[in-house]
Amino acid sequence: MSRTVLKESRSQQTLQSYLDALLQDAVIGLTESVSQDEFQAAVLEEQQRDVQRVVPLRQPEPVQARTVVAPVVAPVALEPQPQPLLELPPELAQRPVAAPVEPVAELLPQGQTPVGPPAQLSGQPEWGEEPFECLLFDVAGLTLAVPLVSLGSIYPLAGQELTPLFGQPSWFLGILPSQAGNLKVLDTARWVMAERYRDDYREGLQYVISVQGYEWGLAVHQVSRSIRLDPKEVKWRSQRTQRPWLAGTVIDHMCALVDVAALAELIASGATRHLKGVPS
């Protein structure tokens, strides 16, 4: 078997088992090694179960989102068809290390003000009640989807150095000076795949995606494309006691939908210190 095929089948298995683990909380008796058909059957079963079970949504607590004024560099036109989201200008790779990094893309949808949506730690979030745009990105081979409305800018890490701070948890990579201010960067892989994290996942991080309204950014390996999702295409998590940043699963794309605003709110509020399952 060629190396490429082997790598692809391994990443598929990793993704499969990861998504299966997500559903194990709700689907009883679902084993870890589940075939594609069994996975979809389990999702349908869970949807039917949710219809029968009425779970009142907890009223979201008002969150004072900090407005981050980001300079408009190059507004990105969001296309319904899959397209490469950005292309790095070659000169960005040669910027001096000390200069504040400029974003390569602004992810503000048209008509949106630069204030993030209120964080909601259970149920279907407000931004998921209508069709919404998502950005797909890659973290250590795992594809994740994030609602565009929650994102700010994309900053390249090429030629940049993060300033580490001692005494911080391992998922805190450091501070990235940017035009919008000092961005605190977290290791996304440590959050979304803590149980199978490897130290070499820190290599190859290429971009930091800032969270709208927060001073936090997610370090990722690749940024893919934007897609438009209908709320029905998502298996929403009704309970987010564990992994409150995980909003649900995008069924057709076989990827997790991350509520980055919830994650940033958790971190900014200091709740991560008392939350179970938080990577240390």
Partner 1 sequence: MKMTSAQGSDDPVLQWVTFRLDNETYGINVMQVQEVLRYTEIAPVPGAPSYVLGIINLRGNVVTVIDTRQRFGLDTAPVSDNTRIVIIEADRQVVGILVDSVAEVVYLRQSEIETAPNVGNDESAKFIQGVCNKNNELLILVELDKMMSEEEWAELESI
Size of the site for partner 1 (CB under 8 A): 22
Quote the least distance from Cβ 159 to partner 1, whole Å: 14
Which value, to the nearest 10 degrees, does the dihedral of the CA atoms of residues 143, 256, 265, 170 take?
A: -50
Using CB under 8 A as the binding rule, whether residue 14 contacts partner 1 is answered as no
Question: At 138, is the secondary structure helix, strand, or coil?
Answer: strand
Question: Quick one: which of 17, 143, 238, 272 contacts partner 1 (CB under 8 A)?
Answer: 272
Using CB under 8 A as the binding rule, whether residue 199 contacts partner 1 is answered as no
Question: Quick one: which of 80, 87, 91, 166 contacts partner 1 (CB under 8 A)?
Answer: 166
Task: Please give the DSSP secondary-structure letter assigned to residue 129.
Answer: S
Concatenating the DSSP letter of every residue in 141-178 gives: TEEEEEEGGGEEEEEE-TT---B--TT--TTEEEEEEE
Quote the least distance from Cβ 247 to partner 1, whole Å: 21
Quote the least distance from Cβ 135 to partner 1, whole Å: 24
Question: Quick one: which of 163, 239, 241, 242 contacts partner 1 (CB under 8 A)?
Answer: 163
Using CB under 8 A as the binding rule, whether residue 273 contacts partner 1 is answered as yes
Residue in this structure with the two tokens 């075939």, named with its chain if needed: 35
Question: Quick one: which of 125, 144, 180, 184 contacts partner 1 (CB under 8 A)?
Answer: 184
Using CB under 8 A as the binding rule, whether residue 267 contacts partner 1 is answered as yes
Q: Which is nearer to partner 1, 234 or 268 (CB)?
A: 268
Residues 6+ apart with CB under 8 A from 161: 97, 174
Q: Which of 212, 238, 71 is nearest to 146 (CA)?
A: 212
Token readout for 138 is: 């890659």
Q: Which is nearer to partner 1, 34 or 186 (CB)?
A: 186
Question: Quick one: which of 103, 177, 244, 248 contacts partner 1 (CB under 8 A)?
Answer: 177
Residue in this structure with the two tokens 């900090």, named with its chain if needed: 66
Using CB under 8 A as the binding rule, whether residue 218 contacts partner 1 is answered as no
- CA 73 to each of CA 69, 103, 251: distance values in angstroms, whole numbers, following the listed order: 12, 7, 34
Q: Which stretch binds partner 1 (CB under 8 A): 15-23, 30-38, 169-177, 240-248?
A: 169-177
Using CB under 8 A as the binding rule, whether residue 168 contacts partner 1 is answered as yes
Q: Which is nearer to partner 1, 60 or 169 (CB)?
A: 169
- The gap from C-alpha 95 to its chain's centroid, in whole angstroms, comes to 27
Q: Which amino acid is present at 121? A: L
Using CB under 8 A as the binding rule, whether residue 28 contacts partner 1 is answered as no
Residues between 65 and 104 that touch partner 1 (CB under 8 A): 96, 98-100
Using CB under 8 A as the binding rule, whether residue 164 contacts partner 1 is answered as yes
Question: Quick one: which of 10, 83, 165, 242 contacts partner 1 (CB under 8 A)?
Answer: 165
Which residues is 226 bridged to in the sheet? 135
Quote the least distance from Cβ 172 to partner 1, whole Å: 6
CB-count burial class (<10 Å; 0-12, 13-18, 19+) for 268: buried
272, 171 contact by CB (below 8 A) = no
Which value, to the nearest 10 degrees, does the dihedral of the CA atoms of residues 18, 23, 29, 30 take?
A: -40
Residues that bind partner 1 (CB under 8 A): 96, 98-100, 163-169, 172, 175, 177, 181-182, 184, 267, 270, 272-273, 280
